[in-house]
Chain A
């Protein structure tokens, strides 16, 4: 019997798990995929929104501001990449100025600090590559960027270290309330818990509708992205949005915390909750819109494209849906977590934990481990420190991924860590190996060899990410 079962190991579920791991609770996190951060959390803009976009008075507004404020502290405590690079919303026409002004007022009402509207000259001084057609911009110096994998994995690892049980490749088949407790049937057996937290992202409606008479619907809203090569240097310093206006809903151009340039997302409602395919139309649309902001954007240096699905909740009021289900006490929804969901994650963790605390009244742990240390990044070390690291562990001198310069030591650590990687994509998201311009051409076979050696699994059993994503067909008889 668990006190809390959390369904879904995305950024929301992991943040809730990490927050609740501070208390004396028996917690289990169930995930249908093979790793944390496999759905919406892995394919998004990686933006820490300043908070001017949300309607005042909504959970969006409240949790965005709170989450953005916590992000810096969390990045230091949990050791993931975060940078306050500032955000700009470009206005391309004097006719659109009222909307820009509205955004400013909304931001001020939400409590966003240091917001201002800047004119072309100041804008060009700040971002020389921005289009001359931009007449003004809303500038939010407190906007930031985060590594979405880094954030999710950090919170998950810390939760695991503090006793949260993670069950991967475990699909929930049904949730039933039996008396005071919940009985959860999964593809890997039955689990009983006092409370259930629904952080199932795109499948949040399925879970919710299992226990509630008030049905909800979540619509996958596809967002396509292109990632550009690092060798361009930073095309922009800030995250550059476009003000929705004559040109329709805009796309953003942003640096990533790792020095690439990301453009995206499109927005298209689709039917398929697994429909993370990119489309020719979407990618074309994306690059056409992005060059409106940054005419010199080197769109030919795309190293990969991908699509993510936002868990868009279909209802009149645009907001997160977080709280105990009224006709099913003990079942707590954290659904409809689309933008600014990543930014809000730390705050959502606190918000949901408060609900659980109110119900279960748990005592705080005395041995909670608050801090988490990321793998050593040799690139952040001085020459002498780097020398000492390799002297202590020779594996740090063996470079496996040439594009991102990732050593065997870092890959082994990603596998051996708490909640360590078991898949090729798992290693990639933890170390960045295979994320560079050759996209794993050289390093994939070597990483497969290391995973096989470390986990004792045959190479022919290794997967890319999903359970059926086998990398090889068979071993040749020699």
Chain B
């Protein structure tokens, strides 16, 4: 017998949970969440620090608490979730192949699919750091999992490469367990993490942040014995003569997150070379009709609150697709990144299908002080926001009036200094 659901959500992390709840609220009864872990909540489960939910719930929650709010909504709504279940592939007809120990290998047909697989960390190999390949090198997220979920310390004498938020938070976490955190080295002249994390995780623990530094060599044949750090020039190349040896038994990497789009790629979903996530329209619909994307699989977010918000939009639009089918394709209005902006989500909207307001999310390419973000169409300012400080580590958004987009040919989002 054919198994069929109106909406299948791939991933039971913050994006998947919020999307499922939103789809149900939009009147879809038949919703299924597929989660490969044993529990819902995704990466939030290992984020035991607080600072989640200020925007969504108006209070500061820990990761597991934030997840729990949504898990309860899912439970209260009786939305089924299959745990320990991995999607092996899906196709353009929205047929998924899934596998689990309990139910084995099977196919599920979906009216619409919401991609909410999240992201993963760039490993050492991607950086191609020369040296040995000893034990003791982990991504910050793996270390976080080992400490917070499994209850093991990966090491006691730590250098962290990359000042992404997970690196900063793991630096503090290890310091709290009395590990020696020697420093956080950052290739760029600025941190990739949130300002509040630099203050609360490094400054408060006297952990030095070495900007414009990188690891140029890894030492130790069996277990890591140290790393060589060097300063880098404006072109990010190591400067000869600035090398210094730092003894340590652990190197944690927090050098970027990559949307996890293996499934999307296999299925033929068009991906952005900048974000690594699907190219989407104003409805967060991917290039395959009926397949929507939200959260970190679409583009890496800094705050979970924005993930939930984005996922609600995806859930609502997937519900609409199930009820009304694909909207007739309208003329595309492309939203493209201009000077100072790396990418925009969505990449375009379609005339006739534009809602009342369109939220455009993006990241800036550099640090800016007292600048503005601006959306411009044919010389006309559609939206503009004054920003005291901006950095690539923090996501920006502009809200554009839908009616204005209906009359636009193309929109550019840029930074005005």
Contact = CB atoms under 8 A, between A and B. Distances in A.
A408 B102 CA distance: 13
Interface in B214-254: 216-218, 221-223, 249-250
Given A282-B130, A399-B36, 18 more contacts: A277-B131, A277-B218, A280-B216, A302-B126, A387-B104, A398-B100, A402-B86, A402-B262, A403-B262, A439-B123, A464-B134, A466-B222, A469-B134, A471-B136, A472-B146, A472-B154, A473-B156, A476-B151
A305 B222 CA distance: 17
B142 A444 contact: yes
A397 interface: yes
B123 A441 contact: yes
A305 B139 contact: no
A402 B410 CA distance: 39
Contacts of A464: 134-135, 222
Contacts of A278: 130-131
A231 B266 CA distance: 9
B326 to A, nearest CB: 29
A283 B128 contact: yes
A83 interface: no
A467 B222 contact: yes
5 contacts: A278-B131, A397-B104, A398-B84, A469-B222, A471-B136
Contact of A302 (B84, B128, B135, B146): B128
B105 interface: yes
Nearest to B265: A231
Contacts of B182: none
Interface of A: 226-227, 231, 274, 276-280, 282-283, 302-306, 383, 386-387, 390-391, 394-395, 397-399, 402-403, 405, 408, 424, 437-442, 444-445, 449, 459-460, 463-476, 478
Contacts of A391: 104
Contact of B142 (A441, A449, A470): A441
Contacts of B250: 473
B223 A469 contact: yes
B356 interface: no
Given A279-B130, A464-B134, A473 B124 contact: no
Contacts of B105: 383, 386-387, 390, 397
Contact of B99 (A303, A399, A444): A399
B60 interface: no
Contacts of B150: 445, 449, 459
Contacts of A463: 135, 222
Given A398-B101, A445-B146, A473 B153 contact: yes
Interface in B140-180: 141-142, 145-147, 149-156, 177
Interface of B: 36, 84, 86, 88, 97, 99-106, 120-121, 123-126, 128, 130-136, 138-139, 141-142, 145-147, 149-156, 177, 216-218, 221-223, 249-250, 262, 265
A441 B141 contact: yes
A231 B258 CA distance: 14
A438 B156 contact: no
Nearest to B152: A472
A438 B104 contact: no
A277 B130 contact: yes
A383 B89 CA distance: 13
Nearest to B142: A441
A466 B120 CA distance: 28
Nearest to A423: B135
Which interface residue of B86, B104, B106, B142 has the most chain A CB atoms within 10 A? B104
Given A280-B216, A394-B102, A473 B128 contact: no
A438 B120 contact: yes
Contacts of A449: 150
Name B's interface SS. mixed
A277 B132 contact: yes
A476 B135 contact: no
A309 B106 CA distance: 46
Nearest to B149: A445
Given A394-B101, A441-B139, A473 B125 contact: no
A282 B131 CA distance: 11
Contacts of A279: 130
Contacts of A282: 130
A283 B217 CA distance: 12
Contact of B177 (A402, A444, A467, A476): A476
A242 B238 CA distance: 31
A391 B138 CA distance: 35
A408 B99 CA distance: 12
Q: Which 10 pairs show the lowest CB-CB distances between chains A and B?
A: A304-B125, A464-B135, A394-B101, A466-B222, A469-B222, A439-B123, A397-B101, A469-B135, A468-B222, A390-B104
Given A276-B132, A402-B86, A473-B156, A478 B125 contact: no
A276 B131 CA distance: 8
Which interface residue of A386, A391, A424, A442 has the most chain B CB atoms within 10 A? A442
B126 A303 contact: yes
Contacts of B135: 424, 463-465, 469-471
Given A397-B100, A439-B124, A441-B120, A466 B221 contact: yes
A231 B261 CA distance: 11
A377 to B, nearest CB: 14
A441 B155 contact: no
Nearest to B87: A399
A469 to B, nearest CB: 4
Contacts of A424: 135
Contacts of B128: 226, 283, 302, 305
B125 A459 contact: no
Nearest to A281: B130
A387 B99 CA distance: 9
Which interface residue of B125, B138, B139 has the most chain A CB atoms within 10 A? B125
Contact of A280 (B84, B103, B130, B153): B130
Contact of A274 (B102, B141, B221): B221
Contacts of B130: 277-280, 282-283, 305
Contacts of B101: 390, 394-395, 397-398, 408
Contacts of A274: 221
A421 B185 CA distance: 36
Nearest to A299: B128
Contacts of B100: 397-398
A448 to B, nearest CB: 8
Contacts of A442: 120, 142
